[in-house]
């Protein structure tokens, strides 16, 4: 499994043709206490860097963008009941959606963990 990041602080873990998507620890920390997560609908078709859902915290509301194009095949309903999981485990338990990836070539538009860590130093 490989993990990639976007400049908007989303991550995707790729296993075969399935991508599991969430927001980075950095984004969760910046947002502060998460109060609401709007998940996409199963069956929704998303484009790379297109809107996937949204997230709200005590500080701000932000759109969540899809790191890759594909079709939403699963969502993490637990986040609707317990959005604070994003603060506790942004890059693991707080995954938001799984998508069936339609164009693996889009991975070249994303950053590896190392590249993302370097990018964070520039912010």
DSSP run (H or E) holding 78: helix 78-81
* CATH-assigned architecture of domain 2-104: Beta Barrel (2.40)
Q: What is the pLDDT of residues 91-121, one digit of tens each?
A: 999 999 999 999 999 999 999 999 999 999 9
Q: How many CB atoms lie within 10 A of CB 44?
A: 18
No. of helices (H) and no. of strands (E), the chain: 4, 9
Q: What is the pLDDT of residues 42-69, one digit of tens each?
A: 999 999 999 999 999 999 999 999 999 9
Instruction: Please tell me the predicted confidence (pLDDT) of residue 111.
Output: 98
- For the chain, the domains span 2-104
Which CA distances in Å does 54 have to 5, 57, 108? Answer: 17, 10, 25
Residues 9/60, Cβ–Cβ less than 8 Å: no
For the record, the structure tokens of 89 come out as: 């485990």
């Amino acid at each position: 499994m490989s993990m990639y990041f976007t400049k908007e602080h989303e991550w995707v873990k790729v296993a075969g043709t399935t991508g599991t998507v969430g927001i980075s620890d950095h984004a969760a920390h910046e947002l502060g206490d998460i109060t609401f997560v709007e998940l996409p609908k199963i069956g929704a078709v998303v484009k790379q860097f297109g809107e996937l859902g949204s997230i709200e915290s005590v500080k701000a509301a932000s759109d969540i963008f899809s790191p890759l194009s594909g079709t939403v095949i699963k969502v993490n309903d637990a986040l609707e009941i317990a959005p604070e999981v994003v603060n506790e485990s942004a890059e693991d338990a707080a995954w938001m959606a799984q998508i069936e990836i339609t164009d693996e070539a889009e991975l070249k538009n994303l950053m590896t963990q190392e590249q993302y860590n370097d990018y964070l130093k520039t912010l």
